[in-house]
Structure formats: C-alpha cells, structure tokens
Structure 1
Amino acid sequence: MSYPFLSEEWMSAARAIREKYADQVPEVEADLRINQVIQEVPFGDGEVESYLDTSSGKVVMELGSLDEPDVTITTDYDTARALFVDQDPAIAMQAFMNGKVKVQGDMMKLMAMQTALPSNEFSEKIAQEIKDITEG
C-alpha cells in the first residue's frame, strides 16, 4: 500500500517502519530540531508542517511543529520528497542553490546533520521501506 508523502497515512506507516527497526539502528549523535514547511502539497490546503527531532537519539518525524527549532526549512513538495524519500544529496544541494530550499536558523547544525545520521543495513532497510510506501 502506498500513500502520498507527508499525508497522515504516510506518516503513520513511516513511523511504524522506524519503530520496527528502532533497536537495530545506531543512535543519532547530533541533537537537531528542524521544523519543515512544505508548500505546493497536492492534498489538504496545499501546505504541511512537519518536524524532525533527533534530541532523543532517535529520528522522530511527525506532523506539526516544534516550539523552539534549531532550523526551519521551507520548500516545495517535490523537493521535500526528493530530499526525505529519495535521499538524494545532489538534489538537496541543487535545490538549495536554486533557492528552492529556504533555511532560517542554525545553518551549521543543519550541515552537521548530513554526516550525523547513522547508516547501517537497517537504516538502509528503513529508507527502502519508506520509499516503497510513498506514492509516485
């Protein structure tokens, strides 16, 4: 079953995937709290707010926003999907250089996050399973 990226159904399915492998993925060593404003969303009112929080040592991504984020990222739906689902660093850099990604806050913390997310066979399984549940 696949769902639109960032829909309530997608978020629930992605959370379940992360929880399934939670004890098999190394802890995130960087403490980063990111609010994400995703525009041009093809459902709802056209905008979704979500956040990513690693302060617990785990990657937590939920709908809504954090009161005191380190960084707020604003981008369009297609770019956000390429960044978070396809995990393509070249697209991320190109989108930033072309002004498709706007960043407010601690840019150094955001840049440190690129190398701080742990990677092992289970993090790769999580990424693939999340890609598999994402429409398009």
Structure 2
Amino acid sequence: MESFDPEILEGLAKHEFLSQAWLEEFDNLTSRLGIEPISVSVPLRMNQLISGTPFGPEPITAHIDTTSGILEIGLGLVDEADLTITIDYETAKAMFVDMDPQRAVEAFLAGRVTVNGDITKLLGLAQVFATRDERVTAILRAITS
C-alpha cells in the first residue's frame, strides 16, 4: 500500500451518509484524491431498503453493484438483484462507514436486519469490506457527518 498523507482529508465536506451529496462525494473521491476505486471480487447486485434516515422519504432505496469489479453505490433499486437487505440507517452506517462488524451481527440477531436472496454473496462482500484499504475507511469517515 502506498503511503497515506492524512492531510488530504482536511477540508473535505461532511454529508449525511447516503444523501445525494454524500454519494456524489464518494463517487468523486477516488479520482480527486488519486486512490484506486474499491475493487471487489464478489459479483453482487444488492438492493437495500434503509429505514430511520435523518432525511428524505422512508425508506431510502439504494443499491450496491459490484458486477463491474468496482464498488458502485447508488440510490434506487437495480433489476435482477441477488438479494435485498432491509436495515436501519444507523446499522447501515456502522457497517459501511465505521466497519463495525459486531454491530452488524447484533442487528442481524435482533431481527433489525433482514436478508431476502443469496446470503452467501452478502457474506462474501462482508469479507471484502473487512480487508479494505484503511485509506478508504479514513476517507469515508472524513466525508460522513
């Protein structure tokens, strides 16, 4: 891994997780900061229904698509999804931004997360996130309010 200068994170605007502004910032960061996009070896099309958001209509519909080999996140649902996850906003944020797997397990066991579809693909994606570049985690935290 290349050396990482945390000063590149200074001055980045913070946005609510999964807001349109956050998604735009996420999309632009890799090129603007000169880092590689998040590559994912698990091909997956996952829809998400996210409740309890601090903005917008309930629930937010979002998706993750890794079929290109790169992590793509967007609002709205994709056709022919491998799975659909229903999750609350704080748990989604803890899993994706804070990388808190314990919180995800607790939410799943408590029934606050439901999965319909191929759960093995979700487990594969979790492994990818668990080994992601620390620079990406630092950047996600820097842009998330």
Is residue 35 of structure 1 aligned with residue 76 of structure 2? no
CA distance in 1, matches of 2:139, 2:19: 16
Q: Secondary structure of 2:93's partner?
A: helix
Q: Which has the larger radius of gyration?
A: 2
Q: 1:29-66: CA deviations, max 9, x gaps?
A: 11111111101111112321111111000011111111
> For the Cα contact (< 8 Å) 1:17–1:126, is it kept in 2?
no
TM-score by length of 1: 0.87
Percent identity over the alignment is: 36
CA distance in 2, matches of 1:46, 1:79: 16
Unaligned 5+ segments in structure 2 are 1-12
CA distance in 2, matches of 1:63, 1:19: 21
Deviates more, 1:24-33 or 1:49-58: 24-33
Letter in 2 for 1:47: P
How big is the alpha-carbon RMSD for the aligned residues of Structure 1 and Structure 2? 2.0
Over 3 Å counting, the alpha-carbon distance change for 1:104 and 1:126 in structure 2 is same
Letter in 1 for 2:94: A
Q: Secondary structure of 1:17's partner?
A: helix
When the two structures are aligned, how many residues end up with a matched partner? Answer: 133
The 4+ residue runs of structure 1 with deviation greater than 3 A are 18-27, 116-120
CA distance in 1, matches of 2:76, 2:121: 21
Unaligned 5+ segments in structure 1 are none
Over 3 Å counting, the alpha-carbon distance change for 1:74 and 1:41 in structure 2 is same
CA distance in 1, matches of 2:34, 2:117: 29
Over 3 Å counting, the alpha-carbon distance change for 1:41 and 1:73 in structure 2 is same
